[in-house]
């Protein structure tokens, strides 16, 4: 594999450096294990994982483009891409993840004070501090700004009372970035962005079980929780802008990335045409035998291809750009829809074998596919539902406003 003729020599030098470092530090035993070991509740981690995480955390390459002064990689986007390519070649994967990396960190870098960045970025970079997102409340979902969790200024600290819901990973989190109400007389302008230590007295989490059988999220209760003043990020009553910015990062991650909206959610990793031939049969020409199924599979595979091309186009267009734009809404809706369609097709193609819950008679992959299909239904609900994304596209991008 020779580098392109017009390759930038500095970049090629970095490539060699990255290749060497990865060779030395990535344990071969971890190839293909990302799915098993990532996620805050993963029980399958081992010494190799710990070693790899420490190496990447110390190097700062888990958050490659964040500034070096907080321990992160400090790489250019071009270098980061090279790093990713080199990791891909040997099956290495990023052990540093979670909401801290995907959503909170980028927002903190933009809106946090210098002290806040110094205090909170390194923990994310090293993968030592898990963050959860305290946004939604029972009465405030799509209409997030109607949130009511009270935050009162007590002079030397804030006092927080209220309830959050659907807080992913709250049972494992060290810290929570939350939207709280600091002014009852205004809607959007009465919201502040607060960082809450999950070990504070008065924080209680109750896991909620999903239709897929696992409990990745919680109800989170705050009862007279004292929060230090320095944990207010941005101005008092200025949290909405920050909170929305964070949502853009979230949606961007969900749409283009390997996250919830990604195309594959565990279980079967083969392409659907292969799965269809295995379960539903092929004709003498080696085609999926069922003509109707074959066309629907084709439709899905074309959608998936178009989506991947869009991801690539967005990435190259974003080179000169700073951060995510409003078009991230398109990615989230397209990605989550296509991911759900894949899961539905997989379950259908597997027939009876795609209807197992547990126990005998089904393979691990079959059971994981079913659980993934169910869990994936959330991708059009969280991070701004499909309907809310469509409203954003219609109003902000297409200019179809309510009152014209």
Partner 1 sequence: MAVLNEEQSMIRDGAKSWVQEKSPVTAFRKLRDSGNADGFDRAAWKEMAEMGWAGILIPEEFGGTGLGYLTLGLVLEETGRTLTASPLISTALTATTALLLAGSDAQKQKYLPAIAEGKLIATLAVDEGPHHHPEKIALAGSASGGKVKLNGKKTFVLDGGTADLVIVAARTSGKPGEKGGITLVLVDGKASGLSREKLKTVDSRGYANLTFKDVEGEVLGTVDQGAGVLETTLDRARIGLTAEMLGQAAQSFEITLEYLKTREQFGQKIGTFQALQHRAAKMFTDLELGRSCVEGALAAIDRDANDVAQLASLAKAKVGDLVHTVSNEMVQMHGGIGMTDAHDAGLYLKRARAQEATFGGSSYHRDRYATLLGY
Query: What is the SS3 assignment for 228?
Result: strand
Closest approach, Cβ 337 to partner 1, in A, equals 11
Contacts of ligand FAD in 249-278 (CB under 6 A): none
Query: Least distance in Å: CB of 170 to partner 1?
Result: 14
Residues 63-122 touching partner 1, rule: CB under 8 A, are none
What residues from 202 to 241 belong to the interface with ligand FAD (CB under 6 A)? 217
Site string for ligand FAD, 140-179 (x = CB under 6 A): -xx-----------------------xxx-----------
Q: Is 254 in the site for partner 1 (CB under 8 A)?
A: no
Pick what 104 binds: ligand FAD, partner 1, none; C-beta below 5 to 8 Å, kind-dependent: none
The C-alpha angle with vertex 245 and arms to 242 and 248, in degrees rounded to 5, equals 155
- Residue 242 burial (CB < 10 Å; 0-12/13-18/19+)? buried
Q: How far is the CB of 218 from partner 1 (least distance, A)?
A: 11
Question: Could you tell me the sign of the dihedral formed by the alpha carbons of 352, 353, 355, 356, in that order?
Answer: positive
- Measured from the CB atom, the residue of 72 and 218 that comes closer to partner 1 is 218
Q: Is 168 in the site for partner 1 (CB under 8 A)?
A: no
Using rule CB under 6 A, residue 135 touches ligand FAD:
yes
Using CA atoms, how far residue 267 sits from 194, 271, 342, 373, 381, in Å, is 38, 12, 12, 9, 22
Side-chain-facing half-sphere of 344: CA atoms under 13 Å:
11
Is 136 a binder of ligand FAD (CB under 6 A)?
A: yes
> Which of 20, 352, 395, 396 touches partner 1 (CB under 8 A)?
352
- The verdict on 63 binding ligand FAD (CB under 6 A) reads no
Q: CA of 281: how far to CAs of 143, 285, 286, 292, in Å?
A: 47, 11, 9, 13
Which residue stretch of 49-57, 112-120, 263-271, 343-351 sits at the interface with partner 1 (rule: CB under 8 A)?
343-351
Does 292 bind partner 1 (CB under 8 A)? Our answer is yes
Does residue 67 touch ligand FAD according to CB under 6 A?
A: no
Rounded to whole angstroms, the Cα distance separating 382 from 253 reads 12
250 neighbors 103 (Cβ within 8 angstroms): yes
| Site size toward partner 1, by CB under 8 A | 48
Phi, psi of 67 (to 5 degrees): -65, 145
| Footprint of partner 1 on 361-380 (CB under 8 A) | 361-362, 370, 374, 377-378, 380
> Tokens 């392409």, residue?
271
Q: Does residue 172 bind partner 1 (CB under 8 A)?
A: no
125 binds ligand FAD (CB under 6 A): no
Query: How far is Cα 236 from Cα 158, in angstroms, rounded to an integer?
Result: 11
Alpha-carbon Rg for the chain in angstroms = 23
Using CB under 8 A, which residues numbered 188 to 227 contact partner 1?
208-211, 213
Shortest distance, position 391 Cβ to ligand FAD, whole Å:
5
Is there a contact between 383 and 260 (Cβ–Cβ < 8 Å)? yes
Cα 282 → chain centroid: 37
Coil vs helix vs strand at 217 = strand
Residue 75 lies near ligand FAD (rule: CB under 6 A):
no
131 binds ligand FAD (CB under 6 A): no
Three-class DSSP labels, 152-191? EECCCEEEEEEEEEEEECCCCCCEEEEEEECCCCCCHHHE
Angle formed at CA 153 by CA 152 and CA 155, multiple of 5 degrees: 150
CB atoms near residue 185 (< 10 Å): 6
Q: Residue 366 CB, nearest distance to ligand FAD (Å)?
A: 23
Please tell me whether residue 397 binds partner 1 under the rule CB under 8 A.
no
Q: Write out the residues near ligand FAD by the rule CB under 6 A.
A: 132-136, 141-142, 166-168, 217, 378, 381-382, 385, 387-388, 391
For partner 1, the binding residues (CB under 8 A) are 136, 139, 141-143, 146, 165-166, 208-211, 213, 279-281, 290-293, 296, 347-348, 350-362, 370, 374, 377-378, 380-382, 385-387, 390-391
């Amino acid at each position: 594999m020779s580098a392109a003729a017009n390759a930038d020599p500095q970049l090629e030098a970095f490539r060699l450096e990255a290749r060497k470092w990865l060779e030395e530090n990535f344990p071969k035993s971890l190839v293909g294990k990302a799915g098993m070991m990532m996620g805050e509740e993963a029980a399958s981690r081992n010494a190799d994982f710990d070693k790899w995480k420490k190496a990447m955390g110390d190097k700062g390459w888990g958050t490659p483009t964040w500034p070096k002064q907080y321990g992160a990689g400090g790489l250019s986007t071009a270098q980061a891409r090279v790093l990713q390519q080199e990791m891909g070649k040997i099956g290495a994967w990023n052990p540093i993840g979670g909401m801290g990396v995907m959503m909170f960190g980028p927002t903190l870098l933009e809106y946090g004070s210098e002290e806040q960045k110094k205090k909170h970025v390194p923990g994310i970079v090293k993968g030592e501090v898990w963050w959860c997102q305290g946004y939604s409340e029972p009465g405030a979902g799509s209409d997030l700004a109607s949130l009511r969790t009270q935050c009162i200024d007590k002079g030397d600290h804030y006092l927080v009372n209220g309830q959050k819901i659907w807080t992913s990973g709250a049972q494992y989190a060290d810290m929570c970035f939350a939207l709280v109400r600091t002014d009852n007389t205004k809607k959007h302008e009465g919201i502040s962005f607060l960082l809450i230590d999950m070990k504070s007295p008065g924080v209680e989490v109750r896991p909620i079980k999903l239709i897929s059988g696992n409990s990745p999220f919680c109800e989170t209760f705050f009862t007279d929780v004292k929060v230090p003043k320095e944990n207010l990020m941005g101005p008092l009553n200025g949290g909405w802008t920050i909170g929305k910015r964070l949502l853009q990062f979230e949606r961007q991650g969900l749409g283009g990335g390997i996250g919830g909206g990604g195309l594959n959610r565990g279980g079967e990793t083969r392409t659907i045409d292969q799965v269809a031939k295995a379960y539903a049969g092929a004709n003498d020409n080696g085609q999926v035998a069922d003509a109707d199924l074959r066309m629907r599979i084709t439709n899905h595979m074309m959608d998936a291809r178009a989506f991947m091309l869009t991801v690539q186009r967005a990435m190259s267009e974003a080179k000169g750009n700073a951060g995510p734009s409003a078009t991230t809404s398109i990615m989230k809706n397209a990605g989550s829809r296509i991911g759900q369609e894949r899961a539905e097709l997989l379950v259908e193609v597997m027939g009876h074998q795609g209807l197992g819950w547990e126990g005998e008679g089904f393979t691990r992959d079959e059971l994981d596919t079913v659980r993934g299909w169910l869990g994936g239904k959330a991708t059009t609900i969280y991070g701004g539902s499909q309907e809310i994304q469509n409203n954003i596209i219609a109003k902000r991008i297409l200019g179809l406003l309510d009152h014209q």
